[in-house]
Structure 1
Amino acid sequence: MAKTKNRKRISVEKIQKKRQNQTEKKLNPFEVHINKEKMRVLGKKLKNEKGLPGVSRAKAIQKRKHTLLNEYKLQHKVNKFMDKRIGERGQVPQEDKIMARFAAVRAKAHNRKSIFNLADDEVLTHRGQTLSEIEKFDDPRSEDEDDDDDDKRKNGRLDANFVEEVHFGGGVLTSTGQEGAKTHKQLIEQLIEESKKRKAEKQKIKEATLELTEKLDTEWKDLVQLVSKKDKKDASEEPKPNLDDYDKVMRELRFEARGTVSDRLKTEDEIAKEEKERLEKLEQERLERMRGFTENNPKSGPNHRSADDLDDDFVIESDVEDNVLTYDEEGKSNVKIRAEINGKSIGDSEEEVEAHVSNNLEESDDEVEEEQEEEEESGSEDSLADLKEGEEDSNSESEPETKEPITKDKIPSKNPEKKDKEISESEKKELEKAGNELPFTFQLPEIYESLMETLQNKSPAHQKIILERMIKCNHPSLSQANKAGLGLLFAYILQYINDLFSDIENAEVCRNNFKLLATLMPHIFDLAQLNKENAHNSILEVIKEKHQEFRKKSKKYPGLEVLVFLKLVSLFFSTSDFRHQIVTPCFMFMEQMLRTCKVKEPKDISYGLFVCTLVLEYTALSKRFLPSTITFLSGILHMAIPKKSVKIIKVVPPFKPLCTDLVLTETYNDSQPPQKFNVANLLEQEFSDNFKVSCLHLTLKLLNEFRENLQELPSNVEIFADVDKYLGQISMEFYPDLVKREYKEFCDSFSKMKSERRLQHLVMEQKKPKALRLYEPKIEEVYDGKRHKMQSKEKAERAKLMHKLKKETKGAIREIRRDKSFLGRVKITQQIQSDKERTEKVKRIYSEAANQQSELNALDRQKKRKK
């Protein structure tokens, strides 16, 4: 028999589905909003094709009621307690909680003022009382111990009878029944009188107690001796043992004053490391100043150079290790600054320069002995002029073939150590004698004439002692006003130097003045260091003044004081800086002198060579190039060329094309070595053979040093092109071997420099080749009705993000506006409800008041009727 289907179940499902379709609300076509698209794509399904604004608005309002409305109602309300104690939120052991809370309390109570006072904020107690209260020595007895009225009266308190009579029912209200009873005024006067009496008695008792206490204190020593006195014949008492040396030392150490805790001493390695870091930092700052890389003027790369660029700001980077120039207390350099050029050292320390001056390096021992005798007779080796001459003389003397730097140990002499010792001892004796003859204190001069009176007719040693004691007696550390006085003294010293070297006609006077300046130089340097700003301004004003005087007569070399001031600039300031407020104007000043001043006399040539040597000293570290120096040295070589009337050799002004003042017409006697350049050459009037040979020799030495200094420049061959042309026309047959050797050295080194120089031609910067477009896939974009800009991938991605940000921003603003409108409706509804309740309350109050008034009127009417 076949199984029948469950017809009842099928009928129930159909019925439920039918009822559901009947209950579904049919959408009103007027409430449906159709979202149109600009470009209809076939087969593309959209989620938001049809919209229901009313339904969406109702859903949004309902959502805001559950979220925003609840937040608005709970605004500024807290319905939950939070346990914010330390350690309560996490699972922390009880001991850790206690420690953390104690640490927090101590950290909160910690104050900056009590950082070094440990446990200063804790209050120590003893039996419930603080130590400060216990140490007051007050009488701790209570008031209950004094029961008697007499004791109370003694203690200054009122008795019980008086209080009962006056305060509790006594006084005016008391009826004694007796005649002559006291009035209230009399009672008050009696009260005041008794109070004063009790205070006086109390004061007397206190004074008596203090007197007895002081008497007991004075007699306490006698009582102590009686109490602590023991029987000397007590056999049980053992004698005290004698203290040994160890016990004595231990007690001394126990009671010895202890010093406070300080920082530990640094080890030698740490000191050396810090000194190395300090020197490296100073060297880095000096190199940055030399290259012009400062904070105010950073340079990220090379600037564009045009064809007519004069290289005014051209910087040469050198791989040669530079040193930091420092000075000790005596004004001498602590670091030996040396530029090794051609095996010679430029800018040595004063001791090495003095060794150069006092011990000349010659080819034979006979020549050394002769020059030593001449120097001993002259007696002016220590002068500032000879210091500069030492730099020139090191160029004019012969040198070994090894070309090692000349040092004090390598200079041959009979006994240089003995000679240096004798010189130092003689100078020491002279200074001691001058120190004993002069007073020990000097006042700072208020005017320049007072300084001249103090230094007038004084020896160099006396003047050195005077200047030294002036600085020590008026040091800025003694008084702040001394700093201005020392600055004025520095200005007077510059004026004194100017007067020493102005209008000098005698070589001996000039030599003595240079020696005096060399003696005073350490103290002048110390004076400049005490007030650096004043020294800077004073020297700058002097340079400006001398330059203005020079501009009035620009065709003539200025006086010797200008050379001295230019030398002082190299001693006081750093000459390797890229730009300097004083050194840079001095560069320009020297360049103008070499370019415009006419060369007529031997002293003009000596002056120009001195300036060239200063330029070499200025540029020994920075490796800069001053064109006028090479031009001047080329002009000196041109003056040594024999001229013919037919052929004119061109030369750069101020030199004349037909000048032959330095031409040597006879063979120079080799038995007489050429005299070195000294102070006398600055006042030379005639062209002697010795002067001509010495001048040419010094010129060749300077050219060799400039060639070594400028060999890293790409235009080094062009710089010395005129020099090479002039040297080829000078006949060297009349000159000594010393000059021929320098001549040959320059020619060989210049030829080698020309052969090794490789010019790099200027070429355009190579650009990266572009890839061929044929290898890139050609992608055709589908036109979507929008205009897209042709831009890179990064820009397109950024534009996409900006569009998305703008879209999200607009949506956020729209939602904020709807939230604000919703909250506005809620507030209006609340206000309307509040006003409605208030109105109903007012009406109810008026109604109750009317009922009360009616009842009151009814009562009034009943009263009137009864009457």
Structure 2
Amino acid sequence: MPPSQLKRLKASLREQGITRPQKSKKLKQKNQKNDNADERAKKNTALADIREGLNPFEFKAPARPKKFDYVTNRPQDGKKVLGRPGVTKSHGEETRKKTLLPEMNRRNKVGGILDRRIGENDPTMSLDDKMMARFTREQQRKKGGNVFDLEEAEDEVELTHGGRSLRFDEDGDAGEDYDAASVEGSIDRETRDYLRRKRRRNSNEDEGDGAETEDDQPERKKSKAEVMKEVIAKSKLHKYERQQQKEDDDDLREELDKDLPDVLAALRGHLSKPKSPDPEPHKEAPKNDFSINPERAALLAGKAREEADREYDKRVRQMMYDQRSKPTERTKTDEEKAKEEADKLKELEEKRTRRMRGEPESEPVDERQAQDAEGDLQSVPDDAAEFGLSSVPQRSRPEGVEDEDDFLMDDDLIASGSEADISNSSDEASGDDTMGMDDDDEFLKDVLPDTIETGAAMKGVLSIGADSNTSKLAYTYPCPRSHQGLLEVLKDVSPQDIPIVVQRIRALYHAGLHAENKSKLADFACTLVDHISYISDQKPAAPLTVIETLIRHIHSLSRSYPEQIATRFRHHLKQLQASSEPTPGNLTILTAIGSIYPTSDHFHQVVTPAITLMARWLGLTTPNSVKHVAIGAYIGALCIHYQRLSKRYIPELVRYTLLALKSPHATPDLVSAHVKNILSMADLWTGKSAFYEIFSPETIAVLKDLKQTKALQRLQVLLNQSKLTRRPLTLHNHRPLPIKTSIPKFEESFDPNKHYDPDKERSEAARLRKEYKREKKGALRELRKDANFIARERLREKREKDRAYEEKYRRLVASIQEEEGREKNVYEREKRARKRKG
């Protein structure tokens, strides 16, 4: 038998430390003095827990154990608490007192004060808005009338639709007009205009009469016949307007049909000739017949038959004398073209030497020039161009070239595989056995003076035509196979004429002319690589245009001799690696590499060592002089040019640029150059995820110290954009892929009280039915609780009324009894008094 409630209470009090052994009076007084609020709070909490534990109706537990025993991975308590009925009931009671009880009290009650002032119940309106709205309403009331009244006494407004009054005429004439218009569908235009004017005149008269009489007569309700008459009149009016619109469209269509032949003739590109103002009576213009040729129709227009026949015969005779096309010349092979150009150069050289010795010239007439003279007598060749006395003035800058450093490049000056050749790779044909020399034919044509157009940029070389300077040059030169031999050839040649000499050497020693020319041109190309470095180191250095032109020649030769030129470039890079101090010649070599080879390759035999050397110099050098600051600015620009497509990050470049900007040797021009490099780097690496760490905060501080406002603003904008594009790392968000299994499905959290239906639709329907049943039971439960609450409240009100009635009744009875006792006492006293008198 379980212990009694009293024993359980005593045991709980002892466990919580509330009841202790009895203490002496001194200890009790001492404990009372040391007692604090925390201990009292703990004691009250413990008592509340004990009180709840002793109440068996405070918790709701399952009524009976599980029907089936099963094992699960979830922890199972001995007796699971399902809820607290007392707490739930008290919450429901409080909620009903707040919501349902006020509704009961307001039932069947009328009255109350509602504040209907403007904006009083609108929290969105400010005090000024409320005052303004109330003032506006007050002014409208003072003015009188309604703001939407369209019929004010001082200014009457008549409602119209489409310019017509909304009133319908009741005159019989108007109805007759409508009847006539609707019945007679084929009346002429004059009759329609007359009827329209009459209807407008009648409506104006009715409006004038109505203004005088309508004010005097009161409005009356129209009869059914009048309403139907107005409806019929309106229908006839609409029908007449539709008919009139249709007739107007037909007239317009007829006018357009009249101009249709001219429109067709204009579309075919042959407009008919305008007619003469006074045509002859016996000549009739031919009709527009589109079955014949438009030219013949135009020829016959306005002419007699005999004159037309004479014109036709004349044109037939002209066609008989037309010259027939002639067959073109046979297409020459590459070797024939190269041999012809070389022979032409040798012939010009012999003529030049004869002129220098003063010997008479006896040259045969060129067959091509004779044919040109027969074909066109006006095209006379200018022989003065060979002596530098050309009558055509040369332009200082060729057409299409905006700057002296720009070149109009053709395909033969672009090496295969380079970045400039990417856009033209789809248009180039596959090479043959001549090793890519098939494109040099167009290049060799520009060497001859009679084929060079004056003032044009030919194949990337500026103004190499025959002028006063180039006429003194020889047309034939030996092919130098070493740099010393090239210096011997160019000993008496000015720097501006070096590109012309190089071009003529390439033409004379074309690979298709002799078997040994291939090796000669390969050595000559390597010599050009040495020469661009040599002329850059000289003081004064050669013009940049000459260096640029020679780089273009190397670019063109690198297609035919890639291995030899690449080996020569690597030789210069090894010298730079050994010296570790770049000279102007080394910088020229690095610039040529960037313009000849593709710098975006992952690995390249020439470009990769060049980038490595530049990065090594930037990483190991400190800008302690003006020369180093200037070289660093140029190498930085080269690095940016190399990475314009691949956009690889070069940390040494950022480091050296910041050191150069902080260096005391940096001049204003060099500072601007390095700042420009920083902006170029920012534009190049703006898509990098580490962009914010690359340029912040040290770069911002340096630009602030240098007061580079524009660059600082641009860099800050890019940094803000890079910071906004960052997102925290997340795992891949993809749908989990199901695993195909052949075993029954295993439910980890299986519950025998639940139903696991494989049919999804049936399971969803069962779930909805269960949810509906649960909601229905909950709604019925709440309705019953509401009914019980209402009954309790009504019973409480009835008891209060009864108690008040009883109190009032007792009070009245007491007052009556008091009054009767008082009157009885008066009566007794009066009786005793009379008895004494009697």
**Shared fold, TM over 0.5:** no
Larger Rg: 2
**Normalised by the shorter chain, which TM-score bucket?**
0.3 to 0.5
